[in-house]
Amino acid sequence: MSLLEIIDLRAKVGDREILKGINLTVKHGEVHAIMGPNGSGKSTLAGVLAGRELYEVTGGQVLLDGKDLLEMAPEDRAREGVFLAFQYPVEIPGVSNMYFLKAAVNQIRKHRGQEELDAMDFLNLVREKMQIMKMDQTLLNRPVNTGFSGGEKKRNEIFQMAVLEPKLAILDETDSGLDIDALRTVSGGVNAMRSPERGMIVVTHYQRLLNEIVPDYVHVLADGRLVKSGGKELALELEAGGYAALGIYDEEEAVGRV
Amino acid sequence: MTAVAEQNAQWLELFTQQPAAEPWIQALREEAFARFSAQGFPTTHHEEWRFTNVAPVTKVARAARPADKPAAIPEQAKPHLAKYASLDHPFVALNTAFLHDVRVITVPRGATLEAPIEITYEGPAEGTAAHPRTLILVGANAQCTIVETYKGEGTYFTNAVTEIVVADSAVVDHYKIQQESLSAYHIATLQAAIGRSAAFSSHSISLGGALTRNDVNAVLSEGSDANINGLYIVNGTQHVDNHTAIDHAKPHATSHELYKGILDGQSHAVFNGKIIVRQDAQKTDSKQTNKNLVLSDDAVIDTKPELQIWADDVRCTHGATIGQLDSEMLFYLQSRGIGRKDARNLLIYAFAQDIVDRIKVQSLRDSLERTLFEKFHEHPE
Ligand SMILES: Nc1ncnc2c1ncn2[C@@H]1O[C@H](COP(=O)(O)OP(=O)(O)OP(=O)(O)O)[C@@H](O)[C@H]1O
Ligand SMILES: [Mg+2]
């Protein structure tokens, strides 16, 4: 059975259809990159998979290890192993990173029938993962993402992923805003999590990330559809010729960013 | 007879049934009763009571029984009792007209009390009224913490007045925890006279009561500092009204005010923050903030700053916000496996966090944290 099966998925925001029939299969152990112009629907796809209420699914099916993902609440999807690294991580003043993450780990462990971690075990786990991500430990005591720099927020996302050990990781432009050293660290963290059981969807605009996290497949999303798929060389083609080479215009240039 | 006259006649009967007290107390009572009779209970036509209808309170209040034992008011109260809280407030007048047991707390000059002074008022019997009165006298350079707790069971009316005199350079932290029964009426005035270079903080936590009205009034002297905080959490048909008045009478004083409210169900909250900066009070630094988190469509908040500034070299800021739980934050928490209810609770709790953090009495902070969690734990979707 495939890890993730997306069949003719359609979704809208308000009255506007954004996803116009997406088909994608991710098998255990695979890394799929999704590229595409601004506004083409990449974050929408990521959000629909994670269960964001803003999007209304109007058709299609999504199966995670054969289970109907679309009928689950966002927290149940996370407990079943879906993880979304946000393009724009949300600042939550007043909620400490540590408290938040401990609650998350333990709710997920409970769902999996594992014992909850006590304070000591949790701290050890967190320390180990922070080291991999070269993260400052003081970030743990701060409110979630609040006042974090762009780079710190992205690291924090991957750090959370490392702690929560999902089955399916969706990384939405995790590379944006990272300098080259941070990009290496973050990619290293992601690569360390590649395993035969885990699948990943990596949304990016840039080849430089795909040099670090080498994908098995690359897809191009344009105007709500996957218009082209190929191996990792497809990303190199795009880098050289841009989307225009594929006959796709960039919405950002055409109508400006919404 | 008109309604007011009829009411007054009943009150007069109740008033005259009180056992006689020493002449100075009797004189206070009589003056107060005259002032109360002249005003009657406020209606929503009074600006100060626009959003708070006390009609249900007056019914319970009238069913009060007179005390059967003589008043117990220590002699040291005499120079201060009823010298600060204004009888222009009808409920202060009513409380003073029925002065009976007065709790007097004196902290000698220069004394530092490590342990908080705890005062607990148990609500009166079903269907009756009580007029608790507290006088706190803190000597120069002294330091202390006072915790007043109000609780009870059933339907009753608590009409409390607390006067605090903070002498020069004293440091006083006052906490009031209002956890009355959900069918009780609670009207209370806290009146603080703050001396030169003294520091006073007030933390008013309102959790219970069908109808609550808090007046917190502080009069500042030269170089004094007031921190006036409040947290109100209401649900169902609860009504809570917080009126604060900070009077910068003299120069170089600072006041920081933060009131936060969490409203659910069909509750109604009122915040009215008056800041007076007198002509003399140059270099005043005053900041007022009122923030409200509204969890339901039917809850209502009326919030209003009221600034009266007569001096020119001052810094006064104020701001009020009314918001809902942030759906992006909720989704972020849920996307990490945290259930919707827990995510909501975390955010509600986070909203109240800075008020909780200001509470310096550890046991109080712990119990408030527990209450917050319990209060919202079983929240319906
Ligand atoms: N909350 C919203 N309300 C209205 N329209 C929205 C909303 N969110 C997204 N959209 C629209 O949906 C379309 C797809 O947006 P989406 O964020 O999925 O694009 P994207 O491919 O991730 O773009 P980028 O590369 O810039 O991140 C865009 O036209 C966007 O304006
Ligand atoms: Mg996007």
Three-state SS sequence of chain A? CCCEEEEEEEEEECCEEEEEEEEEEECCCCEEEEECCCCCCHHHHHHHHHCCCCCEEEEEEEEECCEECCCCCHHHHHHCCEEEECCCCCCEEEEEHHHHHHHHHHHHHHHCCCCCCCHHHHHHHHHHHHHHCCCCHHHHHCEECCCCCHHHHHHHHHHHHHHHCCCEEEEECCCCCCCHHHHHHHHHHHHHCCCCCCEEEEECCCHHHHHHCCCCEEEEEECCEEEEEECCHHHHHHHHHCHHHHCCCCHHHHHCCC
Give the closest ligand to the alpha carbon of residue A38.
1
Q: Are residues B29 and B100 in the same domain?
A: yes
pLDDT tens profile B108-138: 999 999 999 999 999 999 998 999 999 999 9
Q: Are residues B338 and B317 in the same domain?
A: no
Residue B13 has pLDDT above 70, yes or no: yes
By CB atoms closer than 10 A (0-12, 13-18, 19+), residue A196 is exposed
Instruction: Give the tokens for residue B179.
Output: 């956890």
pLDDT tens profile A201-255: 999 999 999 999 999 999 999 999 999 999 999 988 888 888 877 777 655 444 4
Are the beta carbons of B327 and A53 separated by less than 8 Å? Answer: yes
- pLDDT, position B374: 76
Confidence of residue B4 (pLDDT cuts 50, 70, 90): low
- pLDDT, position A257: 37
Confidence of residue A157 (pLDDT cuts 50, 70, 90): very high
- B-chain CB neighbours of A75 within 8 Å are 334-335, 337-340, 343
**Nearest chain A residue to B357, by CA:** A94
pLDDT tens profile B338-350: 999 999 999 999 9
What ipTM goes with this model?
0.94
Instruction: Give the tokens for residue B107.
Output: 């902290």
Rounded mean pLDDT, B182-203: 98
Percent of chain B at pLDDT exceeding 90:
82
Confidence of residue B21 (pLDDT cuts 50, 70, 90): confident
- pLDDT, position A258: 37
**Nearest chain A residue to B332, by CA:** A90
Chain A from 8 to 67: CB within 8 A of any B CB: 50-54
Percent of chain A at pLDDT exceeding 70:
96
Q: Are residues B366 and B318 in the same domain?
A: no
Q: At what angle do helices B23-39 and B3-16 cross, to 10 degrees?
A: 170
- The three-state secondary structure class of B31 is helix
- pLDDT, position B258: 98
- What atom of ligand 1 comes closest to residue A224's alpha carbon? 14
Among B16-25, B137-146, B174-183, the least confident range: B16-25
In the reported structure, the alpha carbon of residue A45 is separated from the centroid of ligand 1 by a whole-number distance in angstroms of 10
Confidence of residue B161 (pLDDT cuts 50, 70, 90): very high
Looking at the complex, does the CB of residue B336 fall below 8 Å from at least one CB of chain A? yes
Q: Are residues B256 and B371 in the same domain?
A: no
Confidence of residue B381 (pLDDT cuts 50, 70, 90): very low
Q: Are residues B314 and B330 in the same domain?
A: no
Residue B379 has pLDDT above 60, yes or no: no
- pLDDT, position B59: 79
* Total count of domains within chain B: 2
Rounded mean pLDDT, B215-241: 97
By CB atoms closer than 10 A (0-12, 13-18, 19+), residue B36 is buried
Rounded mean pLDDT, B182-205: 98
Average pLDDT, chain A: 92
Distance in Å, alpha carbon of B107 to nearest chain A alpha carbon: 37
- What atom of ligand 1 comes closest to residue A37's alpha carbon? 25
Nearest CB among B329, B335, B351 relative to A78 is that of B335
Q: Are residues B285 and B365 in the same domain?
A: no
Looking at the complex, does the CB of residue B341 fall below 8 Å from at least one CB of chain A? no
Assess contact for B166 and B193: CB atoms under 8 A. yes
- pLDDT, position B5: 64
Angstrom distance (rounded) from CA A19 to CA A225: 7
In the reported structure, the alpha carbon of residue A83 is separated from the centroid of ligand 1 by a whole-number distance in angstroms of 20
Give the closest ligand to the alpha carbon of residue A44.
1
Residue B61 has pLDDT above 90, yes or no: no
Looking at the complex, does the CB of residue A156 fall below 8 Å from at least one CB of chain B? no
Strand partners, B213: B187, B241
**Nearest chain B residue to A79, by CA:** B337
Q: Are residues B56 and B125 in the same domain?
A: yes
Looking at mean pLDDT, say which of A99-103, B38-42, B286-290 comes out highest.
B286-290
Q: Are residues B144 and B249 in the same domain?
A: yes
Nearest CB among B339, B350, B354 relative to A92 is that of B350
Confidence of residue A133 (pLDDT cuts 50, 70, 90): confident
Rounded mean pLDDT, B302-318: 96
Confidence of residue B66 (pLDDT cuts 50, 70, 90): low
Rounded mean pLDDT, A68-92: 97
Q: Are residues B245 and B332 in the same domain?
A: no
Spell out where B249-379 has E strands: 254-263, 268-277, 285-294, 300-309, 315-323
pLDDT tens profile A50-70: 999 999 999 999 999 999 999
Q: Are residues B361 and B250 in the same domain?
A: no
Nearest CB among B327, B338, B351 relative to A104 is that of B338
Among A158-167, A215-224, B252-261, B367-376, the least confident range: B367-376
Rounded mean pLDDT, B308-336: 96
- The three-state secondary structure class of B49 is helix
**Pocket mutation for ligand 1, best pick of A19, A38, A43 (most atoms within 8 Å of C-beta):** A43
Instruction: Give the tokens for residue B312.
Output: 């020119």
Q: Report the CATH architecture of A4-257.
A: 3-Layer(aba) Sandwich (3.40)
- pLDDT, position B281: 96
Q: What angle do CA B221, B222, B223 make, to 5 degrees?
A: 115
Q: What's the domain range around B364? A: 325-381
Q: Are residues B347 and B235 in the same domain?
A: no
